[in-house]
Structure 1
């Protein structure tokens, strides 16, 4: 009879384990990639027709390498390894990794052990005391059979979160690279303004000397001198914040590189890099695979879908196997002579919990919907960022051409005004007006060149910093 009972017990145990291995667990209520996308998701960018969307040049491994500037490359290398946001993202990856390992550990049996030694002394009246030593050694094991896939669902959810934190690291590095490049461009812009102002101040001082020499000859008035002096002083006053702002920008660069101060040798460039042709834009669907923030949002959505599975499985009965064994004896030498072991299988499940577990399932389903809306928002925002960057660069480029034409006309007008003034047929006020107009247009040209570079930086970041790969896009959509 005992033998039959053992056979039935082990047969039942083997069947349950086999059922668990065959995966009879629950499956997630997945939302397909097509269903995740907004209903009006575009097939191409509005600024360029589909046949114009691809440029002849793709991106380099790192987008900033297209500018072929050693100084920028050195700063990027420093920032991407020592920036505080990047290091924080790395720490979060480690946290998520160990959390995933912790979740995976529940798939394996838990084994514990213990050892003890004790002395029992019995003292009786009018008799000798009796002492008894007891030595013991024990092992115990427990294992939850994952009948409904709860443990596997928790493990998969944590793995998806771990992968999402790796995408967060890529997002952090992409953001840092964009912020550093834009700050670097702004620093060069300030230096260009400084160089131009210093040239203009030197020129206007020479013109002031000429006007002063003309004064005794009655070819210039005191008003002319005062106006020219005012112009020189105005340019010198404009130079002060431009120079001081460079210190602020250098400190900002240092912060992005994880430092309080950068060596002067690291930031010496005074010229803008050449703007190459547009990178490969691909199609809006390519952003799903190219942008790390979109991938992270998608992974978190998948993680929450598996949390629904875990919540649903928690409402079902759980099968837990336990085993324990112990050995004992009067001394250490005889401890293995006596054995006691116990095997048990427990099936337990909730009967009434006031709707707590059902509420948890519905709560997690609501989180899935939240993650879905967040995913759609990230996708729409990515498309808009690309569109905005393209529009801003187009506008800045067109404005630059206009300012360059205006500058040419202003210089011709200025030369004519000076000629008339020197011939005595023109007023110095006209010269001063044209001087200010020409000076401002020169600075406007520098500003527009900086805007073009900033828009290009934003475009690289909006595209995910990498060349679109149609194969990756196809995998995501399918």
Structure 2
């Protein structure tokens, strides 16, 4: 018997070695390098400057008190932001769940029941040969009562459960960065809409001013018609221009309403009047943007940090999936009391029961499900690398675009300001020439129309300047801190 037992133990040991060896043979996968370098500057020949507007608090960058009040309200009431905050709590709970997986599971267990076995079984024969109650036949059926504690634990020797927990931590931090990115975009969108609202206010003021000028010109033309200096055609053309400008103001008023409601929606409140600055829009000073070094984007942009954390989580998922190919060790234990009558529970050690067991298991045949999980984890890791590289590239391009936009709009604004000055002067000149019969009414009308369009274009350019100032701050990663 002993040689057979030794031989059996040898076979079992050999089987376990083969099991472990087979489990350790992993399928080949492609690993993508995530290294992403950025240029040393945003423009060729630009000097290195470590000052960065992204480090400025948004209340210092946007100094308008009315705008600051709207942003403060939005950071509390915005529904999308509050939804994201709940997603962060969900991710935090996922960490708790993953952490609990590699700790022992301990619980209490109690039970009661009856058991009737056949007399022709060993248990039945033993049961009826032993007198449970002296002098009497054993009762049928016999009760079975027990209470105790039990525990089970998987020894995480390959780091499968720890890596899953670390991946959950990375995803939790990723949701935090996602919230920061949402805050950055929310502040930028509110500021952009606010400056658009100021621009519309100024356009409406210009329209009303032009209505007054054109109405006066219409009265003059009517007087000249009575003096037979012009015909009814001139009167109708001037009248048509006044009507066209009057209709324009209602288009602007509708845009004002929609822009106000967009701001109210972002602030999480119902439509209402938006308090805003009454200062001249064209006189608002733009905030100078300090871009710093492109490498600072990696630390300042929440979306880049989010993509980096997603990549870290994907790498940990690969390690966790890889560990499923290795043997796993499980340990279970229990201790308590068991008796056919509850009054015997207090008898120790007669009613004491305990157990401990361990098992070793590894996938040997039909590992397709594990392979599929492993391949998917690697594919998602490669996908996360590309997403990280794309996010870095997009951030760099956004900053370069906004910097060039700021510079080009500055030049455009200067030229359009001169155009407005020239056309404003031409209105007076055309009116004087018309009064002295040295110009016809069409020249006056065209001059007034061109002057109105040029002032609208100047306001539009100023609004784009303010928008570029907002967007370069967002592109640099400012606003969330």
Structure-1 residue corresponding to 2:76: 81
Higher RCO, 1 vs 2 (CA within 8 Å, ≥6 residues apart): 2
What TM-score, normalized by structure 2, do the two folds share? 0.83
Give the SS at the match of 2:271: coil
Distance 2:253 2:289 in 1: 34
Distance 1:138 1:322 in 2: 14
| More displaced 10-residue stretch of structure 1: 390-399 or 304-313 | 390-399
Structure-1 residue corresponding to 2:56: 60
Distance 2:261 2:110 in 1: 62
Which one has the largest radius of gyration? Answer: 2
CA contact (8 A) 2:184 2:480 kept: no
Calculate the aligned-residue CA RMSD, in Å.
Answer: 2.9
Structure-1 residue corresponding to 2:92: 97
Per-residue Cα deviation, 1:197-252 (whole angstroms, up to 9, x for no partner): 01110121122112222332334432322221111111012111111111111221
Structure-2 residue corresponding to 1:197: 207
Per-residue Cα deviation, 1:435-456 (whole angstroms, up to 9, x for no partner): 1111111111111110101111
Distance 2:280 2:35 in 1: 43
Structure-1 residue corresponding to 2:396: 383
Structure 1 position 42 matched with structure 2 position 35: no
Flag the 1:56–1:83 CA change in 2: closer, same or farther, 3 A. closer
Distance 1:180 1:48 in 2: 35
Distance 2:95 2:53 in 1: 41
Give the SS at the match of 2:352: strand
CA contact (8 A) 1:55 1:278 kept: no
Shift of 1:277: 4.0
Structure 1 position 110 matched with structure 2 position 109: no
The 5 A counterparts of 1:8-407 are 36-38=34-36, 41-46=38-43, 49-51=46-48, 53=49, 59-62=55-58, 65-118=60-113, 130=139, 134-262=144-272, 264=273, 266-267=275-276, 269=278, 271-272=280-281, 274-329=284-339, 332-337=342-347, 338-407=351-420
Flag the 1:155–1:121 CA change in 2: closer, same or farther, 3 A. closer
Give the SS at the match of 1:215: helix
Distance 1:56 1:297 in 2: 22
Shift of 1:406: 0.9
Structure-2 residue corresponding to 1:444: 457
Structure-2 residue corresponding to 1:408: 421
CA contact (8 A) 2:54 2:477 kept: no
CA contact (8 A) 2:170 2:309 kept: yes
Per-residue Cα deviation, 1:136-188 (whole angstroms, up to 9, x for no partner): 21211111111111111101011100100000111111111111111112121
Give the SS at the match of 1:443: helix
CA contact (8 A) 1:214 1:220 kept: yes
Structure-2 residue corresponding to 1:15: none
Flag the 1:210–1:80 CA change in 2: closer, same or farther, 3 A. same
Give the SS at the match of 1:261: coil
Structure 1 position 454 matched with structure 2 position 454: no
Per-residue Cα deviation, 1:363-387 (whole angstroms, up to 9, x for no partner): 2112111100010001000001111
Distance 1:239 1:438 in 2: 16
Structure-1 residue corresponding to 2:123: none
Shift of 1:331: 5.1
Flag the 1:381–1:184 CA change in 2: closer, same or farther, 3 A. same
Structure-2 residue corresponding to 1:473: none
Q: Which runs of 5+ in 1 are unaligned?
A: 1-28, 469-478
Structure-1 residue corresponding to 2:478: 465
Give the SS at the match of 2:474: helix
